[in-house]
């Protein structure tokens, strides 16, 4: 059994989940648009940004 404090659980619930989803969605749209116009360097750069983003890590 994993034990955790009630405080940690409350902090988890108070994270700005809506903002995380919005930011990640915007980045994903930018990747899509970059690939659509053939700008693969920009797409790869944005993908790296997604990999490093806090929003993506929390939502994963």
Sequence spans of domains, the chain: 17-59
Helices 40-52 and 17-36: angle between axes, nearest 10 degrees: 160
- Give the chain's residues under pLDDT 50: none
Q: What is the pLDDT of residue 4?
A: 67
Q: Please give the structure tokens belonging to residue 13.
A: 């619930």
Q: What is the pLDDT of residue 8?
A: 81
Q: What is the pLDDT of residue 23?
A: 95
User: CA 42, 48, 53, 57 torsion: positive or negative?
Assistant: positive
Q: Which residues of 20-38 are buried (b: 16+ CB within 10 A; e: fewer)?
A: beebbeebeebbeebeeee
pTM of the model: 0.79
Distance CA 7, CA 44 (A): 39
Q: What is the pLDDT of residue 35?
A: 98
């Amino acid at each position: 059994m994993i034990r955790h404090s009630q405080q940690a659980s409350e902090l988890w619930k108070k994270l700005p989940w809506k903002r995380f989803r919005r930011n990640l969605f915007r980045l994903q749209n930018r990747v899509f648009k970059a690939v659509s116009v053939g700008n693969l360097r920009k797409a790869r750069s944005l993908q790296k940004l997604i990999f490093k983003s806090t929003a993506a890590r929390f939502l994963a």
